[in-house]
């Protein structure tokens, strides 16, 4: 299996621009998670989906952030408009079942907003 | 409010010695605990886990200990190797289909 796939791996953009991060979970996994990693806050959960349905988006920092999962094999995290404080590494992860199952992470997208 | 805390941001250990990484949690509903390891420019990878019905789980050089009364867990690496140098994240979850809650991580440096 290819594992969790994220694109792009690196993104540099200017403040005010729209940014779209993409994730393909492991086939057969029914839960998908978006995390953000920063030095100050570590790994923060932004939103997660079960069976393509958003369950908890309380970690999404502002209305500028939105996430979708149109089908079981694809999810996007969009930031519009982007700000310099959004600069971080964004990880997508997927899991086959309940909490006792292993959660697998993608390689991350390193975002820099100038 | 942090539910999972790793109070040591970094740790240095000599090759061959024991590395002990610590983690504390506040949510008494947590019943499943994991350690993830992260190398630079990669995503975190699962290392070892423990259920709340146990107090110890061992996998090769890695052992996780759980003290529920103290709400504390630790990861022991024996013997430590230079390839173990990475950031280690402690994580916890409740029963069911709930997300993992992560600590901020501890950077381990194993010196040859």
* A106–B105 C-beta distance less than 8 A: no
- Taking 90 as the threshold, does the pLDDT of residue A15 lie above it? yes
* A97–B42 C-beta distance less than 8 A: no
Burial level of B35, CB count in 10 A (0-12/13-18/19+)? buried
Identify the DSSP state of B55.
S
Of B41, B100, B103, Cβ closest to residue A103? B100
What average pLDDT does the segment A65-74 reach?
96
Question: Three-class SS of residue B83?
Answer: helix
Confidence of residue B2 (pLDDT cuts 50, 70, 90): confident
d(CA B73, CA B24) in angstroms, rounded, equals: 6
What average pLDDT does the segment B80-95 reach?
95
Q: Collect all residues of chain B within an 8 Å Cβ-Cβ radius of residue A35.
A: 102
d(CA A77, CA B3) in angstroms, rounded, equals: 25
- Best mutation target among A26, A99, A105 (most B Cβ atoms within 10 Å) is A99
Q: Copy the structure tokens of residue A45.
A: 């959960």
- Taking 70 as the threshold, does the pLDDT of residue A1 lie above it? no
pLDDT at A100: 72
């Amino acid at each position: 299996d290819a594992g969790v796939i994220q694109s792009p791996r690196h993104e540099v953009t200017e403040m005010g621009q729209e940014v779209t991060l993409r994730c393909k979970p492991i086939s057969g996994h029914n839960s998908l998670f978006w995390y953000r990693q920063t030095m100050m806050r570590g790994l923060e959960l932004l939103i997660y989906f079960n069976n393509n349905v958003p369950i908890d988006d309380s970690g999404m920092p502002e209305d500028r952030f939105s996430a979708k999962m149109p089908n079981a094999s694809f999810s996007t995290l969009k930031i519009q408009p982007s700000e310099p404080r959004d600069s971080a590494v964004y990880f997508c992860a997927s899991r086959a079942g309940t909490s006792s199952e292993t959660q697998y992470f993608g390689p991350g997208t390193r975002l820099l907003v100038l | 409010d942090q539910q999972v805390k790793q109070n040591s941001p970094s740790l240095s250990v000599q090759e061959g010695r024991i590395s002990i990484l610590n983690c504390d949690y506040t949510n008494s509903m947590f019943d499943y605990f994991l350690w993830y390891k992260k190398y630079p420019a990669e995503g975190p990878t699962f290392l070892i886990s423990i259920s709340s019905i146990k107090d110890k789980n061992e996998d090769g050089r890695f052992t996780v200990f759980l003290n529920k009364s103290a709400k504390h867990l630790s990861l022991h690496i024996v013997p430590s190797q230079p390839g173990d140098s990475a950031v280690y994240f402690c994580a916890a979850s409740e029963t069911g289909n709930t997300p993992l809650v992560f600590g901020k991580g501890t950077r381990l440096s194993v010196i040859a």
